[in-house]
Amino acid sequence: MSESSRIIAIGLLTQRDLGLLGRGFDRAFPVDPAPCFEDLVRAIDDAELKLERCAPSGRKTTGV
């Protein structure tokens, strides 16, 4: 695969996730845990729940 056609992605992965990806996943950069990260995830979850309650029935609200 040429350098210009390589896929680049950014994500938060656990060590188990990296193991499942296998040897083809050749670069991972560890980050220090943030003390307020759980609060951020909780706020995102709360916002998604509110959005789902407000969305018209049958409408898909997640698009990631």
Task: For residue range 5-63, list pLDDT tens digits in order.
Answer: 777 777 888 889 889 988 877 788 887 777 787 888 889 899 999 988 887 765 555 55
Chain mean pLDDT for the chain? 79
Domain boundaries, the chain: 3-54
What tokens were used for 42?
A: 């909780």
Q: What is the pLDDT of residue 36?
A: 81
Task: Report how far residue 44's alpha carbon sits from residue 40's, in angstroms, rounded to the nearest whole number.
Answer: 6
pTM of the predicted protein model? 0.38
What tokens were used for 13?
A: 């992965």
3-state secondary structure of 19: helix
Higher pLDDT, 3 or 6: 6
Distances, alpha carbon 49 to alpha carbons 36, 40, 43, 46, 54, in Å: 20, 14, 10, 5, 9
Q: What is the pLDDT of residue 6?
A: 73
Phi/psi at 5 (5° precision): -105, 10
